[in-house]
Structure 1
Amino acid sequence: MTIKYIERKTGEEVTEIVAGGKVLRWTYETKPGRFLLETIMKRKLFTKIFGIVMDTTFSKKRIQPFVRDLAIDLSEAQKEKIEDYQNFNDFFARHLKQEARPVCSKVDTLASPADGRIFAYENIDINKIVQVKGSHFSLMELIGDQQLALEYEGGICIIVRLAPVDYHRFHFPAKGIPKVAKRIEGHYYSVSPYALRRMTEIYCRNKREITELETDLFDRLLLVEVGATCVGSIVQTYEADKPVIKGQEKGYFKFGGSTTIIFIKKNIVKIDEDIINNTAKGIETKVNMGESIGKKLIND
């Protein structure tokens, strides 16, 4: 199975370069791989040890082949030279130059919270939200709050999947006041399409953090960050109960592919047509942090 997405800037269909693709397929598609996954790889200890290794100076030697093999453009980073990074996690959570990710300026637009590949679903059934085609999850199980989940019935779910190649800091999609992030412990399954197609409700099984963002234009947004295999930490860098602006940094992931999810109430936002059309075809759209992904719906 190849993983394809639409490059938004060009409209071209692109085959994704998957870091560790052969290992992922073996892990999720073979009996020995699944046994190893369930006994060792999904567990916190495995990811914690891996995260510790990625914090050592020894891990620095991984940066050069990673940049080369995945064709990462370091000219966008604040630190353009590999030797300026202390370890692999320092590189992985790198800051970009402000001009590399301009934030959509129109007040009534919603910005992508991260670089990644995006699916967007309208008029959602909160008990059966699409994870990928043929696989679903429950919002109540994801956030652990039935009453809050009910507020988003018939609303919108936006899933932004970050691959290891991507910039791994995540940002606020709109101006508002965020509450304290609620942490839910879980396992560390991969969020690669290889895994998402093989296992149901991965987002509800994995470690995750949920933040309510109170906004003037978009009502209350739910922002969810989901950890994954070898994601040592989800680090929140914002200050709760303090106003934030659109595009302001919210936090970052340490090593590994990860996911951010936005939930929007019904009749609030109209998602951009290209994203909706590609989602209907079962293919993700590659977006950058700060790009418009939707617009305030004007009700008569």
Structure 2
Amino acid sequence: MKYISLALFLLAIISCQQEADPDNKMETIKYIERASGEIKTENVPSEGMLKWLYTSTTGKAALSLLFKRKIVSAVGGWYMNTGFSSRRIDEFVSEHQIDKKEFEIEDLSKFTSFNDFFYRKLKPNARKIGERLVSPADGKILVFQTLADVNRFFVKGTEFTLAEFLQNEKLASKYNNGAMAIIRLAPPDYHRYHFPASGVASESTKIKGHYYSVSPLALQKSLQIFCENKREHCTLATEDYGNIIIVDVGATMVGSIIQTYEAGANVEKGEEKGYFAFGGSTLVLLFEEGKIMFDTDLVENTKKGMETTISMGENIASMVKK
């Protein structure tokens, strides 16, 4: 109960703290819309709160003391499962211009809670599945042909290592020279995720961790957040792209990571793998060396320091022909 009381107290002072703190210097989030090539600015839910938590002295103290802990996300998840939270749905859809016509259930009044809406299903044909390796989710993507590119991109903070990220040195050693994709799901995005290729999926391995934000406003400070957050990973054995590691990373206010696939079974490209409950989340794909080549536009945009919008089922890479 003391954590809950402290959480309510901290939330009450956030708005005035954000304006008063001179250290609040985080940049806005800009990204490239893939279809048009336009550079846009992201509308970030709770942007002020994130800036306060990750840039100010008092915010960092609150983050370490409370906000990274499970209790805060658990309380938030509990509320998002209540009928009271459903009152936020209409405003949220309107504010973020979410296309209701894609929803399996278009009538927003049918959702029993905000979480019920948050991990909504889409109509069967709402996403076209590409002919090559595809994105497992809607969101914004960064791609790296080697792990060295990752550490050059995220120049701040402690060096990112796969062994620490996967908590398995033997498994990590198979991917140290391989490629990596980071797909970030913002709260307005569709939050079910799917398989990027056909194959056989292993059982998920769970790794305990904290609940830091995975927003770029937080990652600007350190990619090490990925190695500290709660996460799960499985290996997808494919014929064309080798063994792909799929890592589901939780974050602040993500109450649960739910797997809906059957471990050990054959899965089809585009088939649902699972979903995240409320909050921002991330998927990380790891590829063995020499197995895939990312699409040129995604590589170039990443080199510019820009994420690119992506839809589940959209092509992101090709197999390397031997």
TM class by smaller structure: over 0.9
User: 1:246, 1:130 → 2: CA distance?
Assistant: 31
Cα deviation digits, residues 71-93 of structure 1 (max 9, x gap): 11111111111101010000000
Q: Does structure 1 conserve the Cα–Cα contact (< 8 Å) formed by 2:195 and 2:271? A: yes
User: 2:171, 2:66 → 1: CA distance?
Assistant: 34
User: 2:152, 2:259 → 1: CA distance?
Assistant: 27
Cα deviation digits, residues 251-292 of structure 1 (max 9, x gap): 000001000000001111110000000001110010000000
Give the C-alpha shift of residue 133 in structure 1. Answer: 4.8
Q: Does structure 2 conserve the Cα–Cα contact (< 8 Å) formed by 1:93 and 1:252? A: yes
Output aligned runs, 1:15-94, within 5 Å: 15-94=41-120
Task: Kindly report the root-mean-square deviation, in angstroms, between the aligned alpha carbons of the 2 structures.
Answer: 1.3
Secondary structure, in 3 states, of the residue corresponding to 2:241?
A: coil
User: 1:251, 1:19 → 2: CA distance?
Assistant: 23
Counterpart in 1 of 2:230?
207
Bigger drift between 6-15 and 193-202 goes to: 193-202
Counterpart in 1 of 2:262?
239
User: 2:51, 2:123 → 1: CA distance?
Assistant: 35
Counterpart in 1 of 2:168?
145
Give the C-alpha shift of residue 123 in structure 1. Answer: 2.3
Cα deviation digits, residues 175-219 of structure 1 (max 9, x gap): 000011000010000000111112341010000001011111111
Q: Structure 1: any 5+ residue segments left out of the alignment? A: none
User: 1:131, 1:189 → 2: CA distance?
Assistant: 20
Asked if residue 120 in structure 1 is aligned to residue 143 in structure 2, the reply is: yes
User: 1:49, 1:131 → 2: CA distance?
Assistant: 35
TM-score calculated relative to the size of structure 1: 0.95
Counterpart in 1 of 2:300?
277
User: 1:19, 1:33 → 2: CA distance?
Assistant: 17
Secondary structure, in 3 states, of the residue corresponding to 1:295?
A: strand
Counterpart in 1 of 2:18?
none
2:191 aligned partner, one-letter code: H
Output aligned runs, 1:87-236, within 5 Å: 87-104=113-130, 106=131, 109-125=132-148, 129=151, 132-135=154-157, 136-236=159-259
1:271 aligned partner, one-letter code: F
Give the C-alpha shift of residue 50 in structure 1. Answer: 0.7
1:18 aligned partner, one-letter code: V
Q: How many positions carry a matched residue from both structures? A: 295
1:110 aligned partner, one-letter code: L
Q: Structure 2: any 5+ residue segments left out of the alignment? A: 1-26
User: 1:96, 1:55 → 2: CA distance?
Assistant: 20
User: 2:220, 2:29 → 1: CA distance?
Assistant: 11
Counterpart in 2 of 1:294?
317
Give the C-alpha shift of residue 29 in structure 1. Answer: 1.2
User: 1:199, 1:159 → 2: CA distance?
Assistant: 14
Structure with more of its chain in helix, by fraction: 2
Q: Identity across aligned pairs (percent)?
A: 44
Bigger drift between 134-143 and 252-261 goes to: 134-143
Cα deviation digits, residues 98-134 of structure 1 (max 9, x gap): 2211111x2xx101000011000012249x7467454
- Moved >4 Å (runs of 4+): 128-131
